[in-house]
Amino acid sequence: MSEVLESPRWQAVGLVIDQNQRDLLAGEFDLLSEIVAWLKSVSLFQATVDERMILEDPTPADLRQHRTWVASLITEGEQLVTEAESQGGLPPGRVKFKLDDVKATVELLRTDQRMWHSGLTPESRAEILAAVFDGKKS
């Protein structure tokens, strides 16, 4: 059995992202609802990254799943930002976040993508993780 099937966390991430993309394409919800759903999927993705790739050494399957889902989240986030900008931004007072927060989340995902999938050496990645997380692994 493949490692992907052994990780219900990645399965959950994929199911949520896929459903969000179907909803966005179908136009069933308003933009604000779509952004909230996207932010929740980013949160689930980040928790999975922490569990599968920060607290443990990532497997090749983890890296493949990460590459797939981070690209999807970046694409969907960019679509949502573009749509929000075309509508003049987010409606004031309805949510606790601003459009700049959504843009910053997209940039955070881009940074995460570069960290795991660029030419960064394992040693450099370990140094970055040590600096951010005080070198602790559980």
The whole-number average pLDDT for the span 120-138 is 69
Sequence spans of domains, the chain: 8-133
pLDDT digits (tens, 9 = 90+) for 22-81: 999 999 999 999 999 999 999 999 999 999 999 999 999 999 999 999 999 999 999 999
pLDDT at 134: 64
Give the residue among 41, 32, 31 at the shortest CA–CA distance from 72: 41
**Residues 13, 80 contacting (CB under 8 angstroms):** no
Percent of the chain with pLDDT over 90: 72
Residue 34, CB-side half-sphere exposure with 13 Å CA sphere: 25
- pTM beyond 0.75, yes or no: yes
